[in-house]
Amino acid sequence: MYNQLIRNDFMTQSEGEKKKVILTCAQPTGKLTLGNYLGAVRNWSNMLENHECYFGIVDLHAITTPAHPATLRQNVYDCVAQYVACGLDPEKSHQFAQSHVIGHTELAWVLTCLTPIGELQRMTQFKDKAAKLGFKTAETEDGEVKFSHEGARPQASINAGLLCYPVLMAADILLYNADLVPVGEDQRQHMELCRDLAQRFNHQFSDTFTIPDAFVPKTGAKIMSLTEPTKKMSKSDENERATLYVLDEPDQIKKKIASAVTDSEAVIRSTPEKPGVSNLLTIHSALSGQTVEELEESYAGKGYGALKEDLTEIISSSLQPVREKYHELIKDKAYLKSVLAQGAAAAQKRAYRVLGKVYRKVGFPDRERT
């Protein structure tokens, strides 16, 4: 999941000032985690009044790994329904599927032609995903990356889409001339490639792209795994009790919090030496509005059972409106399709501006749009 704060060319009607635009992209990978909600989505909903907000569901990225067509299609609708249920009002924002907007893949192809293959092979996430398939990688003295099939899973292969994924991500950003890109630590290397490609294109064809800057937002809670609290909560975790989802029912929440890792020291305080307890306090603080310090004081002399019991109730009650709204929306496919159509129309207008400049710069003939 990555966000882009991009420049806007229109003015607010009330103040006559430029209104900044937020563009956020995320893969349609099913249910949102509590980490997604508290770390990002809830904050996005607070931006709707003062920003022009675009939320891209990057379904093209999703097919870099095997995806069942019906599941992928449904995941897009699930994503829209969850976004709206979490407070992203489609009357105040634009939600669109990446595959519905002309420009992402076209710009990615232009940028791919400026990208040495060695840069892509050295991307950490690419090597990590290759390793998960069983491939072994080694970098030679001259920087070339070699792959060994020894030990790889039967019939495993690395597709070109997985290799070129960072270029498409760069195109997602540059297509809207982003100024600032809030990204997680695991996306910083991709962000550097994006900046390099923008500079490379500008140098070869004259200034076209804004050189975006990356930053890690200070707002939003960082929620960790319930079973391994030193790593981030993730929907890809194989342990079903490691991750809380915004659509979890109360009994599921109760079981997961009850089994959440703590430690043998029955003292409720947040320190690096107590990652499990610190994580539970972070979740409590993010939902209750109390500071961690206030929570430490209120739970002084109490055991982990009391903290977990209260936290279960807070999570369940906080997410109840989201669950109810989602179940209402997911039944109305026509409405969800209309949300995507309206969002794509708005995003397309912005994308055409930059894509037209790129096409002229590289020498493509003018094309009349019908």
292 assigned to some structural domain:
yes
236 assigned to some structural domain:
no
- Rounded CA-CA distance 112/171 in Å is 10
* Percent of the chain residues past pLDDT 90, beyond the cut: 62
pLDDT at 220: 60
Q: For the segment 104-123, what is each residue's pLDDT rounded down to a tens digit?
A: 999 999 999 999 988 888 88
Question: Among the options 235, 255, 357, 361, which is catalytic?
Answer: 235
241 assigned to some structural domain:
no
243 assigned to some structural domain:
no
Number of structural domains the chain divides into: 2
Q: Do residue 313 and residue 337 come from a single domain? A: no
* Residue 36, pLDDT above cutoff 50: yes
Q: What is the mean pLDDT of residues 114-143?
A: 76
Q: How many CB atoms lie within 10 A of CB 271?
A: 9
pLDDT at 29: 85
238 assigned to some structural domain:
no
Per the annotation, the verdict on 325 as an active-site residue is no
Residues 6+ apart with CB under 8 A from 341: 100
Beta bridge partners of 23: 4, 54
Per the annotation, the verdict on 256 as an active-site residue is no
* Percent of the chain residues past pLDDT 70, beyond the cut: 84
- Residue 318 domain boundaries: 250-328
370 assigned to some structural domain:
no
Count the residues in the chain: 370
Question: Among the options 31, 92, 127, 232, which is catalytic?
Answer: 232
Query: In what side-by-side order are the strands of the sheet with 178-182?
Result: 93-97, 52-57, 21-26, 2-6, 178-182, 213-215
* Residue 12, pLDDT above cutoff 50: no
57 assigned to some structural domain:
yes
CATH number (domain holding residue 125): 3.40.50.620
Per the annotation, the verdict on 129 as an active-site residue is yes
Question: Among the options 127, 129, 255, 357, which is catalytic?
Answer: 129
pLDDT at 11: 40
Q: For the segment 220-268, what is each residue's pLDDT rounded down to a tens digit?
A: 678 999 999 999 999 888 899 999 999 999 999 999 999 999 999 889 9
- Rounded CA-CA distance 290/286 in Å is 8
